[in-house]
Structure 1
Amino acid sequence: MNAHTQRFTMRGAAGALECALDLPHGEPRGLALVAHPHPLYGGTMDNKVTQTLVRAFVALGYVAVRMNFRGVGKSEGVHDAGRGETDDMALLLTHMQQQYPSLPVALAGFSFGTFVQANLQQRLSEQGKPAERLVLVGTAAGKWDVPHVPANTILIHGELDDTIPLADVFDWARPQDLPVVVIPGADHFFHRKLQHIKNFVVEIWHR
């Protein structure tokens, strides 16, 4: 992503996982885990939306970390439909909290990554230690059984998304009374609209 990105490998539940770490300027104020889109459709941790989320959190002063899911890049194992990926993300969180034990945690994801992070948040909540906030971009509602999420979750979706129709996201968000930020003219991958994701996350984070 840039010269300051540090690559490392950690042990996941099904083998080695390729990870990347980006540090903010100065003392970090939080830890953000960012999850990439579907591995079977070309999703990697270097996806542009994923990288945009990383940049947003670094701008907010967060340590931002991501991984290639099983079977992507140098990560071992095979795709596990979100179950193993959630396990691996939980292991990454534990690994990072050993290095940054006192920082608040944020979870962010794009597309399939939203399913993983919503499941991780549900797991953390059951353990009594939920993340402070979620950012879900292109939420995989309708395609996956995405759990309910906290009221302060930031939801961003493209108006013209033909992978995950906006109507499906509304149907998922409506019973939870969750606002959805819609980017006019944006497709699923936010082509030429990426700056809106970063700008909105940075702007609304402290509200």
Structure 2
Amino acid sequence: MPEVIFPGPEGRLEGRYHAQKSKDAPIAIVLHPHPQFGGTMNNLVVYNLHYAFHNMGFNVLRFNFRGVGRSQGEYDQGIGELSDAASALDYLQSMNQNAKHCWVAGFSFGAWIGMQLLMRRPEITGFISVSPPANMYDFSFLAPCPASGLVINGTSDRVAPPRDTHVLVEKLQEQKGITVTHSEVDGAGHFFEDPHMEKMIGTVTDYVTRRLGETSR
């Protein structure tokens, strides 16, 4: 497992990085769920997203937010975690200066952080937002949402109820110039426990593969 340590705003951050042989491979970072509720970069959704992107030819990095695992610092209500994500993207870009595509994927709390990063970094060309907690966090900063992406959730999610996700998606889909695709996994809960993980990852893979194919024409 390729462990990496890179500088963050409050000290070192711990991550896992998988590279491709191609010098111009696309890049992606994957953001984990809430640090105060057991969220780490080894969460199964995050782990599976990481390998899905790697299998699609991406240089991919997942990491622990401040105060998690070997990452230094303390939980900072999402403000510091957004800075951590920006540092992770800086680190990934420094090693992959020829990358033509840059994606961000996040799960739950990580989806909220990922969408904020999207607003700050115009080089991000696509996003995957898994189980975004629209009932807990304000997503109104997405005005307008600067890139197209996929929102995916389970129909039996009790942590981030589907009705709140629907409201978020409807607002995003009203915006011009981008396309926000929404997919639901029937019967899946917040964490996509088996047998739903495979369906979720398959949907993400199909979506990203299609987007990459469109841009390569």
Deviates more, 1:53-62 or 1:15-24: 15-24
Q: Equivalences for 1:1-207 in 2 at 5 Å?
A: 5-24=1-20, 26-27=21-22, 29-103=25-99, 104-124=101-121, 129-146=122-139, 147-148=141-142, 149-150=145-146, 152-177=148-173, 178-192=180-194, 193-205=196-208, 206-207=210-211
Q: Distance in 2 between matches of 1:198 and 1:183?
A: 10
Secondary structure in 1 aligned to 2:168? helix
TM-score computed with the length of structure 1 as normaliser = 0.91
- Which runs of 5 or more residues in structure 2 are unaligned? 174-179, 212-217
Tell me, yes or no, if the aligned pair for 1:52 and 1:197 is still in contact at 8 Å.
Answer: no
Conservation of the 8 A alpha-carbon contact between 1:22 and 1:58? yes
Paired with 2:206 and 2:160, the residues of 1 have a C-alpha distance of: 25
Cα deviations across residues 102-155 of structure 1 (Å, max 9, x unaligned)?
21210000000011110111011xxxx330100010012121112323462111
CA distance in 2, matches of 1:102, 1:198: 27
Give the deviation of 1:201 after TM superposition. 1.5
Please provide the CA RMSD for this pair: 1.4
Letter in 2 for 1:99: M
Q: C-alpha separation between the residues in 2 aligned to 1:31 and 1:176?
A: 24
Q: Deviations over 1:69-110 (max 9, x none)?
A: 111111111111111111111111111111100212100000
Question: Helix, strand or coil for the counterpart of 1:180?
Answer: strand
- More divergent stretch after superposition (34-43 vs 92-101): 92-101
Determine the C-alpha separation between the residues in 1 that align with 2:146 and 2:48: 23
CA contact (8 A) 2:85 2:117 kept: yes
In 2: Cα distance, 1:166 partner to 1:150 partner: 23
TM-score (norm 2): 0.87
Three-state SS of the structure 2 residue aligned to 1:61 is coil
CA contact (8 A) 2:9 2:83 kept: yes
